[in-house]
A and B are shown apart, each in its own frame.
Chain A
């Protein structure tokens, strides 16, 4: 149905990617393109989608054959230009993150799905029929009247998929469609894909790791640093030793280099985080400034703003790592944001690093509490990685040169030294997350608070992060992390606090030490 034969691909003057990589996708097939950060899987997905990047300065040599029609590229300016509209009618592409793929001009999910056919002048009656059909296939019928800008992560992902496949393409290509979704939402998306495959659509999914579960007969094309390292059935891929290329299996425990689990906590160590009987209600019921949207997207329209808190206690000692878990909207982020003053408790008391959080500006707490947001991109603003990492130490009062030296040390220690002069936003998602972690390290606060730190990470980075957290605790810091990643929490945390509807669920959680 579609066959991609890549000779080579290069961004600007960058290194050559995808030499001699061939991928053919037939009707109803499920192909996983797996690779760590920087492996070239997004490039591959975009090539399948007909985005050869000739207009953006990159050059592609190779050929793409779609339904028997072959388009050849020689990396020259005379290369054919792909008609994106005609191409997308046969190969639909869903890029990473849902927001950029909303037209922003549709007030309802129905309009958003109809956007493509409406552009092509499909008459109104036919539009309705198309939308009804695709909505039924993706189980979106109940959401057709909702505002697409106020959906939860899984609903948004399905809406974007529906908008892409309303033209009934032969192939659907998705770049990390499960990133940032909790289990239920991921299952909904997987079910939607299964429905499309039953109708004969070939599905290509890019993933940073091999999935724990996948449909029968799934194939894997594994990439590492732009090259093919494996091509075959998923069952064989699991035995092919891919972890040496940084391609683990989702849900596996992280493998930090230094030592195994966290060191035991000294019961006499000082208490660095003390949350006592904290209650909190969000100011606006109707979707106010919610810092705790499930995945950096709009808050779930149903319970906008996430849950409040009622009577929550939490105590974390120096050297201790505590995981906070619970379903979306249970108040995890809300609790975390009490620790650095982004939220102020309505009742109860919060003390961090011996400092009671009262009315002082949030910014003054940055030297005591380091916070890693789930959506890292809201935190970075400098034009080089070096300046970015040096910002924290500078704000904490270090001289310019000392701050820069400190930043270089941290970047070298994390193996990011070669990126010091890059622009943070020209890095991949995983590297940007690492830069944000480097900022935490450089500032050196005793307390670390991390919101879904492993979402979207590849295997090596996830293991490295586990190592950093254990190391931080070993140096006498305290770490609190909210996460859906069970195996990560089990591997690094001393204990887990379960939240449900803004309360600590007792029974299976050890009481505060």
Chain B
């Protein structure tokens, strides 16, 4: 069951971005860890879909963390405190702590943003952008792209099956894969372009080029109070960051 929405998507996204900025400004592992444990974790658990979000964070961040650990843990020429010498590779304390710091930062970064994005209702975001009077072309490109992604993936799968039915066998070699990619991509792109040219006419006929402000079928979830809150949040983070960066050595 999805969480009941309280705030406008713009407010939620802005809050997530500002949190990331704060983490970068403060730049202490204690703070990053606190945000992760006290901010991201409860948000994920209360999101109504903790498993999907947890899995997404793990899938997106996990490989990066591991490869980062391997890279800096084994190859950190600036490191002085050698813990283990493995010939070409040296495990150094500096390397490990660098990897840990970077890993924590990446964890917070993806944790905060992914949680915000995955609890986001895209139609609501688009409606909110329209109500705020954002450029209609931007709203169209964003909305249409998000809508097309699953469609493109599905169509790609269908075309792959159709080409297999015609005798496509994907081998292991890079050349064979390259060819397979082309036999699938070509009809995919042609089909999408045919749709796009039809959509071009449709947009013109539906008055997409009309001047003036677009309206939205969906109700506005924003309020003057939230707009005020957003401005205050930005101001507060800006002031805090300036003070912190100037004051810290």
Interface residues of chain A, those whose CB is within 8 Å of chain B, are 49, 51, 84-85, 87-89, 92-93, 95, 97, 99-108, 110-111, 114-124, 127-128, 131, 149, 163-164, 289, 291, 298, 337, 340-342, 361-364, 366-367, 369, 371, 373, 375, 377-381, 391-392, 395-396, 425, 439, 443
Cross-chain contact A119 with B165 (CB below 8 angstroms): no
A-B contact count (CB 8 A): 183
B208's closest neighbor in chain A, by CB?
A: A119
Inter-chain contact B167/A366, CB cutoff 8 Å? yes
Residues of B183-230 contacting chain A, CB below 8 A = 183, 186-187, 190-191, 194-199, 201-210, 212-219
Cβ of A371 and Cβ of B208 under 8 Å apart?
A: no
B214 and A121 contacting across the interface, CB-CB below 8 Å:
yes
| Complex A-B, nearest 4 residue pairs according to Cβ-Cβ distance, in ascending order | A100-B198, A105-B143, A366-B167, A363-B169
User: Do the beta carbons of A121 and B198 come within 8 Å of each other?
Assistant: no
Which of B130, B150, B194, B217 meets A100, CB within 8 Å? B194
The complex places the Cα of A97 from the Cα of B195 at a distance, in Å, of: 9
Evaluate whether A85 and B210 lie within 8 angstroms (CB atoms) in the complex, with A95-B198, A111-B217 already known.
Answer: yes
- Across the interface, name the chain A residue whose C-beta is closest to B186: A381
Q: What secondary structure prevails in chain B residues at the interface with A?
A: helix
How far, in angstroms, from A100 to B201 measured CA to CA in the complex?
9
| A100-B199, A104-B147, A121-B212 known; A371+B165 contact, CB < 8 A | yes
**Chain A residues near B203 (CB, 8 Å)?**
103
A-B contact pairs, 24 of them (CB 8 A): A93-B205, A100-B196, A101-B202, A103-B203, A104-B148, A105-B140, A105-B142, A105-B144, A106-B143, A111-B123, A116-B206, A118-B215, A118-B216, A121-B213, A124-B216, A127-B215, A131-B217, A289-B157, A362-B165, A366-B164, A367-B167, A373-B165, A392-B166, A439-B166
- Return chain A residues, CB-CB under 8 Å to B191: 377-378
Count residues of B near A (Cβ-Cβ below 8 Å).
Answer: 60
Contact check, B216 vs A105: say whether CB atoms are below 8 A apart: no
Most chain A CB neighbours (cut-off 10 Å) among B130, B196, B214 = B214
Can you name the residue of chain A whose Cβ is closest to the Cβ of B213? A121
List of A residues within 8 angstroms of B219 by Cβ: 124
Residues of B within 8 A of A102 (CB): 199
Check B99 for interface membership: any CB of A closer than 8 A: no
Q: B167 contacts which of A97, A122, A298, A392 (Cβ < 8 Å)?
A: A392
Given contacts A102-B199, A110-B217, A119-B208, 20 further A-B contacts (CB under 8 A): A84-B201, A85-B208, A93-B205, A103-B144, A103-B199, A103-B202, A104-B143, A104-B148, A105-B140, A105-B144, A106-B143, A116-B206, A118-B216, A120-B207, A120-B210, A289-B158, A341-B164, A371-B165, A378-B163, A396-B167
Instruction: Let me know if B143 and A342 touch, CB within 8 A.
Output: no
Once the chains bind, are B167 and A149 in contact (CB under 8 Å)? no
Question: CB-CB < 8 A to B157: which residues of A?
Answer: 289
Q: Inside 8 A of A108's CB, which chain B residues have their CB? A: 123
Identify which of B126, B161, B182 contacts A291 (C-beta below 8 A).
Answer: B161
